[in-house]
């Protein structure tokens, strides 16, 4: 029995071997934005496990756009070669490579999640590349008080143009590194989401007020990236379909935004939610899949579903019911980097030994024969 999850997926010139995706996950392990051995091993194991697409973490288009000082960056040519090493490994092992280009806005310059605030010693700081800075935002309003956030400065038009230029430069570098897909990060309360949301955007110029005005800057970024990214390569945008807040951005706003993005050359909407202080949603299995379904149905654009998708049967049902075109795992992929291999066996009643890398496939077949399960 063949499964929908393991049929190829095509977008422009990109064809994925299956519809399983590793969603971006910040690793807080870079120094000066440079990818290293941790990123190669962390990301490479997902290609070995059979995923169709691996998307790298939120990657700062400028140093000040990083969530933390330890995030990946693509603001200089020095970042290209370490990323190309990862891309080449993913390609050699059957996975496509995507990169999420990002600016954190007022949620930038935050501590690493496993530290107790900014507790780096003076001896540690140069070793880890510690820096701290004043972030920027649509409005000069802090994300949340007493939670290690810094009051931001409001962006002026020149600052906004500089950010657009940085997205373009990073897009060119992503092409040089060999990425198959660029994903623009406009979710989770970061800069482009801050412009979209009435919770964070209190501007009184052409970039604030009405929904049309609040969409203006994100669309300018998307247009610039689309123009810089080759026409035969796929472009995705990650959005928070809902702020999960009664006074915030709502699913109907996202439907309108997605319809416009489709007309601006966006191919896939990666559908998440939340990111602002005061937002409330109860996490649970498949809790964000309805956001993908409404965007796909109402905007007529391909979508990626995320959010505690763990069971292969659930992933298959999402595709069969037309709730998404791609299914993305984050923590689930961390828990089982070989999830696609195991999912195919569960759905089709057979192990696809060819989905294993050639160095492992025969050994796994021999093991299963010895155990009587081949």
- Residues known to be catalytic: 190
Helices 339-348, 312-320: crossing angle, 10 deg rounding: 70
Burial of 301 per CB tally in 10 Å (0-12, 13-18, 19+): buried
Please, are residues 167 and 224 in contact by the beta-carbon 8 Å criterion? yes
Residue 41 CA to residue 36 CA, distance in Å, equals 9
Measured from the Cβ of residue 88, the count of other Cβ atoms closer than 10 Å reads: 13
Residue 218 CA to residue 120 CA, distance in Å, equals 35
Measured from the Cβ of residue 175, the count of other Cβ atoms closer than 10 Å reads: 15
Residue 5 CA to residue 315 CA, distance in Å, equals 7
Residue 211 CA to residue 195 CA, distance in Å, equals 10
Q: Residue 80 belongs to what H/E stretch?
A: helix 80-92
Residues 6+ apart with CB under 8 A from 201: 138, 139, 194, 195, 207, 208, 214
Q: 9: alpha, beta or left, given left = phi > 0 and alpha = psi -120 to 50? A: beta
Residue 320 CA to residue 192 CA, distance in Å, equals 32
Q: Looking up tokens 């050699």, which residue turns up? A: 92
Q: What is the DSSP string of 254-310?
A: HHHHHHHHHHTT--EEEEE---STT------TTTTHHHHHHHHHHH--EEEE-SS--
């Amino acid at each position: 029995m063949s499964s929908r999850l393991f049929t190829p997926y095509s977008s422009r010139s990109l064809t994925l071997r299956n519809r399983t995706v590793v969603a971006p996950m910040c690793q807080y392990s870079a120094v000066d934005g440079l990818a290293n051995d941790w990123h190669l091993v962390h990301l490479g194991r997902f290609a070995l496990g059979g995923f169709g697409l691996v998307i790298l973490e939120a990657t700062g288009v400028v140093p000040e756009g990083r969530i933390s000082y330890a995030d990946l960056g693509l603001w200089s040519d020095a970042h290209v070669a370490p990323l190309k090493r990862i891309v080449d490994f993913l390609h050699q092992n059957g996975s496509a490579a995507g990169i999420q280009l990002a600016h954190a806005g007022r949620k930038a310059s935050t501590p690493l999640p496993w530290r107790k605030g900014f507790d780096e010693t003076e001896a540690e700081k140069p070793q880890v590349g510690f820096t701290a800075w004043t972030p920027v935002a649509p409005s000069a309003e802090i994300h949340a008080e007493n939670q290690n956030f810094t009051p931001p400065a409001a962006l002026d038009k020149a600052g906004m143009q500089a950010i657009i230029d940085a997205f373009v430069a990073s897009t060119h570098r992503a092409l040089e590194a060999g990425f198959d897909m660029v994903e623009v990060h406009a979710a989770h309360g970061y800069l482009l989401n801050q412009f979209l949301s009435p919770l964070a955007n209190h501007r009184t110029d052409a970039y604030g007020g009405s929904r049309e005005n609040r969409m203006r800057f994100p669309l300018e970024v998307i247009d610039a990236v689309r123009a810089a990214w080759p026409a035969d390569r796929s472009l995705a945008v990650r959005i928070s379909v809902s702020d999960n807040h009664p006074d915030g951005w709502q699913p109907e706003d996202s439907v309108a935004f997605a319809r416009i993005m489709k007309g601006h050359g966006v191919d896939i909407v990666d559908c998440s939610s939340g990111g602002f202080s005061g937002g409330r949603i109860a996490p649970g299995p498949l809790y964000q899949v309805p956001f993908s379904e409404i965007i796909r149905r109402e905007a007529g654009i391909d979508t990626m579903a995320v959010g505690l998708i763990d069971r292969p049967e659930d992933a298959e049902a999402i595709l069969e019911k037309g709730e998404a075109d791609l299914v993305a795992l984050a923590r689930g992929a961390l828990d089982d980097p070989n999830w696609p291999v195991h999912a195919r066996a569960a759905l089709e009643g057979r192990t696809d030994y060819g989905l294993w890398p050639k160095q492992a496939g025969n050994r796994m077949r021999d093991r299963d024969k010895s155990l009587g399960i081949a």
